[in-house]
Chains A and B, each alone.
Chain A
Amino acid sequence: MTESSSFPGASQVLTLCKNIFSRIIKASDNVPQHVGLIMDGNRRWAKLKHVEIKEGHNAGFHSMSRALELCYEAGVSTATVFAFSIENFKRSSAEVDSLMNLARSGIKQVVQNGEMAQKFGIKINVIGDRKLLPDDVLREVEAAETITKDNKRAVLNICFPYTGRDELLHSIKEVVQATQLGDLASSDINEAAIDRHLYTGGSPPVDLLIRTSGVTRLSDFLIWQVSRRDVVIEFLDCLWPDFGSRQMAWILLKFAFSKSYATGETDPEDYDVEARGSPLKKHV
């Protein structure tokens, strides 16, 4: 679903299709609540197309808007995107600078004239070790957060700069500190406590993770959240700038189908076979 189609009115038809599709998915009542995105492959895409790396990142940004638009329309309440890893500071300073510029202008765009923020009422959170950000970017980030702080419908977490281990360390430290201050008894330290103190603490649990460009690693993204049982992990072969509404739609449909199918299947008789020691009777 690209906008390159030259038929008059084609884009309207596409928008209509997208809207109908998202309503349909919404009606299934099996929409992921929190989607994680690893937007991998912008640089490889740029190399393949023989354009500057900057262009690749730009294309990636548009691709992200397309995917998120469909998600939010279909009723996803939170999305977390991996924009910049702490490890990315190892890249060439020119590229780091251009990424920072892109982030600055991107955040600006989303906040000021991007319809997305207004249309969906998106609240933007920038999560990660923000001490590492340059001052001007940090200012932009804070401005974006204050402008969107009253939006209630959906949340966009931008991980910038972030690693999963750093997040976990941060949470562990906060929990330990809370016990020191007497807010939490050490016997009350449990999974929920760690969850609360993660950067994604206020969000629903992650139930879908998407990574593009054929790499089957987490690369230190949401390690705590994604290693849970029943989190759907999708690894796609396409590069992130080529990831569009079509792929997103397919993933949402797949998710909804498998979840409605699973709820249809969960018959208690299936489970306590072992307890009763009775032979398994497959029910149809």
Chain B
Amino acid sequence: MSKIKERVLRAQDDECKTSHRDKQRVSVVTNATRKSGKPGVTDVKGAVGSVLLTPPDSEAVRRKLESQKGVLGKSSGKIEFIFYKILLCVLYMLYACARYTQYHYNRAKILILNLAYSPSNTPQLIRQDVLKLQKLPKRLAAIVEKKREGDVGGGVSGVLNDGSDLVAWTISAGIKHLALYDFDGHLKRNVDEFRKSVFHKLTKYYDPSNVPKFAIRIPQWNKVYFNAPGQEADDTTSKKVAIEISLLSNRDGRETIIELTRTMADLCAQNEMQLSDITMKLIDSELTQLVGHEPDLLLYFGPNLDLQGFPPWHIRLTEFYWEQDNDQVTYSVFIRGLKKYAACKINVGK
């Protein structure tokens, strides 16, 4: 069914051309930086304020409250409502206190771990950490996020830097496939800079004369790039690479599945395909071609796990790893994720 793939890719290409305004689209959602949920006093004040001052929007609450009108009529419902709101504030404050302690405990833990695990730009150290592990994931995926422009490691350059760090660690660990996901596709839009950034990072880890070769694949546009710009592989022998990196974005998730459905619907309308031809195997092989293979381990570097539209078909048995209240792409999260993966056992159904 190579016809399907062709069509989907063509459709995506067209979409890509027409979606230039997308690029201008302010990345509203990305910038809503997930604050690590640090519950300071002002936050509690904010939360409590919004609780007390905003009337309940939901129809259900209102109905419920109305239905609870007792002998005293409407006013008793109101009193009861205020009573619960006050109790809610008390609960929120208690929760905030507990959360505050938890947050600082977690941050301290992360700090110590970051000190304990430091790659210090040497692949040998990473190799040593990895050799202790029983098994390694064949395919690794990571979700990176763009931080606020003004923050340390923020903006697009921050994403590029985080991505190339991950590439360097993955190569050093000896994992051959890495998928990098970022919601808005900053990495794939800036692929040339990313290639430069990866190359630059690798020269820090390896001897400049012996930098590992890498290939960057962008499934959405069906393109493959080799090495840094200006060092493209010319013959087949130099196409042997140490790592294959796929760059994914929100479009490779749901939208690709929708595109695939649309293509199959068209093919069915033209009688080139039957409804009974649509099977689990067909969809799986198409999505593998269009997006890639299912990763074994997915690393997330935010404070609370949020899959952010990662391709849904590809997270069936994927192991997730994230560190609570962490908000940085660090080696300690990377290596601890690998450790967790080595310790877990997957048994489908049993």
For B346, the chain A residues whose CB sits under 8 A away are 217
Q: Which residue from chain A places its CB closest to the CB of B50 in the assembled complex?
A: A264
Of A87, A168, A187, which one neighbours B313 at CB under 8 angstroms?
A168
Partner of A227, one of B264, B275, B307: B307
A266 within 8 A of B: yes
Task: Say yes or no for B16: interface residue by CB 8 A criterion.
Answer: no
Answer whether A27 and B88 are a contact pair too, CB < 8 Å, given A169-B280, A257-B95.
yes
Does B27 lie within 8 Å of A274, measured CB to CB? Answer: yes
Complex Cα gap A168–B311 (Å): 13
**CB <8 Å contact, A172 and B264:** yes
Q: Which residue of A lies closest to B62 (CB)?
A: A29
Tell me the dominant secondary structure on chain A's binding face. helix
Cβ–Cβ contact B348 & A217, under 8 A:
no
Q: Mark A13-56, 1 if CB is under 8 A from B, else 0.
A: 00000001001111111000000000000000000000000000
Contacts of B50 in A (CB 8 A): 260-261, 263-264
Which of chain B's residues have a CB closer than 8 A to the CB of A176?
A: 261, 264-265, 268, 275, 278
Q: Beta-carbon contacts of B310-350 to A below 8 Å, as 1s and 0s?
A: 11110111111100000000000000000010001010111
**Digit string of B144-168 for contact with A (CB within 8 Å is 1, else 0)?**
0000111000000000000000000
Query: Judging by beta carbons under 8 Å apart, are B275 and A87 in contact?
Result: no
- Report if A94 contacts B (CB, 8 A): no
Decide if A223 touches B56 in the complex (CB within 8 Å): no
> Do the beta carbons of A223 and B316 come within 8 Å of each other?
yes
Which residue of chain A is the closest to B49 with respect to CB atoms? Answer: A264
Cα of A230 to Cα of B230 in the assembled complex, Å:
41
* Interface pair A24/B87, CB less than 8 Å apart: yes
Instruction: Look across to chain B and name the residue whose beta carbon is closest to the beta carbon of A266.
Output: B32
Q: With A and B bound together, what is the CA distance between A214 and B284 in angstroms?
A: 28
Q: Is B221 an interface residue (CB 8 A)?
A: no
CB nearest neighbor in B for A197: B261
- Total interface residues in chain B, CB < 8 Å: 79
B345 to A: closest C-beta gap in Å: 10
Measured between beta carbons, the chain A residues less than 8 angstroms from B57 are: 29
Within 8 A of B (CB), among A148-184: 164-166, 168-169, 172-173, 175-177, 179-180
> B204 in the interface, Cβ–Cβ < 8 Å?
no
Q: Are B306 and A230 in contact (CB under 8 A)?
A: yes
* Interface check B309, CB cutoff 8 A: yes
| Chain A residue contacts of B81, Cβ below 8 A | 27
Instruction: Assess whether B4 is interfacial by the CB under 8 Å rule.
Output: no
**A91 vs B348: C-alpha distance when bound (angstroms):** 10
Contact A85 B349, CB 8 Å, known A176-B278, A194-B258 = yes
The yes or no answer to B233 lying at the interface (CB within 8 A) is no
Q: Which residues of B contact A75 (CB under 8 A)?
A: 60-61, 64
Check if B265 sits within 8 Å of A272, measured CB to CB: no
CB atoms of A164 and B278 under 8 A apart: no
Q: Which of B222-271 contact A (CB under 8 A)?
A: 253-255, 257-258, 260-262, 264-266, 268-269
Question: 27 interchain pairs (CB within 8 A)?
Answer: A24-B84, A24-B88, A26-B64, A27-B85, A29-B57, A86-B349, A87-B350, A165-B280, A176-B278, A179-B268, A189-B258, A189-B261, A189-B262, A191-B254, A191-B255, A191-B258, A194-B261, A218-B315, A218-B317, A227-B309, A227-B315, A231-B307, A232-B306, A254-B95, A260-B47, A261-B37, A261-B46
Can you list the 5 inter-chain pairs with the closest CB atoms, starting with the nearest? A87-B349, A27-B84, A264-B46, A280-B150, A264-B50
Identify the A interface with B (CB < 8 A): 20, 23-29, 75, 77, 85-91, 164-166, 168-169, 172-173, 175-177, 179-180, 186-187, 189-191, 194, 215-220, 223-224, 226-233, 235, 253-254, 257-258, 260-261, 263-266, 270-275, 279-280, 284
